[in-house]
Structure 1
Amino acid sequence: MAHVFDPDTVHECALACIGKPKPAMFDAFAEAMESRYPERLDLDQPWIFSNAGGAMIQMKLYYASLSEYIMIWGTPIGSEGHSGRHAVGFWDTVIDGEMWYYGEGQFEKRVYQPADRVYVGANQARAMNFTDGVWAVEYARGPLPLSVPFGVADELVSTLDFSTAAQTLTVYASLVGHHWRQPDPNGGPASTLRRMLGTALATVGPALTSVVRPPEPDDRIPSDR
């Protein structure tokens, strides 16, 4: 199967984030990727929570198909959890903060800092700790639909955050639709059927996301007076 993205190129684009404040670092990544892969990304998707593997983070997906995705994820306060054991390979570039990993049979933590790169291959898993917070660019390649249950399981059976589970699915559908409307990775035009399905998903997905999206965070303390 031909792929749209090269992991080394995604890593190079992630390095454009280093040293910039948030959210400017996220914009720097998007601009770098747009220069290398024009019109491939969808920059309009919202930030959403994820509790996959017990690690609470937020993520912004920029691209997704049935075999690849690109996102920025992170947390300002730290978390820890299980990476999951997938049929998918994951490349991560740390752009801010620090994360610790270890695998079975490893007795010292692996420490990753800005500009460091992490790879977790298919059928592998890691324990993860994000210390005081971390932000990273992630590129994944493989049969992504097989990982969808892992992506929403904690929201459905642990946190009961059905809004986040629904947003995860609607955002993914939107991005698959965006992908299907574009040329094949080898440059050939998308078929009429694929463009039609892509247009439908790219239209319905964002509409459903707006329906299931919760109100924006409000830290004001209510008063009965």
Structure 2
Amino acid sequence: MATTTMPPFTKLSFLILFLAIAYGMYIALEANLENFYIFTPEQLHKMSLDALEQHGNNTSAVVSSIVTQLRSIDSIRPYLSTTEEWMFNNAGGAMGAMYIIHASITEYLIIFGTAIGTEGHTGRHTADDYFHILKGEQLAFVPGEYEPEVYPAGSVHHLRRGDVKQ
């Protein structure tokens, strides 16, 4: 029984075709990425501000208020975690605890923090990150700058895709 092999040109053609299709899919998905999101940064910022206005420095009540507001939206409710489960997380050297409210292939929503302070590196992400500051302040530093970026409670720190900060 003789085995047949594809000529090298045919293998190369298949590889080029595969890469062209994959690239086309990437471009199409990238152009329509927002259609896959269930949250908007503006919506989450408004919820954060409402919760801070109602509950001030009571962080537990602020978090509870945000989750309650999210659960009141019928289109979002099925995608939210049903339990408040906290776990330690160490990312970029920043150690804290996180509560995953929602996680999907296109976005995630967590509460992250620590009662004793932390610092670390943001890492370089393939998506935009929006940090809604609920208590205290977050400092960020970009190489070449001499002053930190300061984000107090109620503000949003937008880390653009591909950017990196300390």
TM-score, with length taken from structure 2:
0.72
Measure the CA separation in 2 of the matches of 1:32 and 1:72.
15
Regions of 4+ moved over 2 Å: 35-40
Measure the CA separation in 1 of the matches of 2:146 and 2:125.
23
Task: Return the structure number with greater relative CO, CA threshold 8 A, min gap 6.
Answer: 1
Measure the CA separation in 2 of the matches of 1:111 and 1:43.
33
Aligned position for 1:24: 61
- 1:14 equivalenced with 2:51 (yes/no): no
Match runs of 1:76-95 below 5 Å: 76-95=115-134
Secondary structure at the aligned position of 2:72 is classed as: helix
- The amino acid that maps onto 1:24 is A
* Offset at residue 115 of structure 1 (A): 0.6
* Offset at residue 60 of structure 1 (A): 0.3
User: In percent, how many aligned pairs have the same letter?
Assistant: 30
Q: Could you report, residue by residue, the CA deviation over 1:147-192 in whole angstroms, capped at 9, with x for unpaired residues?
A: xxxxxxxxxxxxxxxxxxxxxxxxxxxxxxxxxxxxxxxxxxxxxx
Q: Could you report, residue by residue, the CA deviation over 1:21-68 in whole angstroms, capped at 9, with x for unpaired residues?
A: 132111111011222333331131410111110011101010010110
Measure the CA separation in 2 of the matches of 1:41 and 1:17.
18
Q: Which of the two has higher C-alpha Rg? A: 2
Secondary structure at the aligned position of 2:65 is classed as: helix
**Structure 2 gap ranges (5+):** 1-32
Measure the CA separation in 2 of the matches of 1:38 and 1:61.
14
Aligned position for 1:143: none
Aligned position for 1:38: 77
Secondary structure at the aligned position of 2:101 is classed as: strand
Which of 97, 101, 107 matches 1:62?
101
Say what the alpha-carbon RMSD is for the aligned residues. Answer: 1.4
Measure the CA separation in 1 of the matches of 2:143 and 2:57.
35
Measure the CA separation in 1 of the matches of 2:51 and 2:115.
16
- 1:118 equivalenced with 2:118 (yes/no): no
- 1:105 equivalenced with 2:148 (yes/no): no
**Structure 1 gap ranges (5+):** 128-225
Aligned position for 1:164: none
Q: 37-46 vs 103-112, which deviates more?
A: 37-46
Contact 2:126 2:161 in 1 (8 A): yes
* Offset at residue 107 of structure 1 (A): 1.3
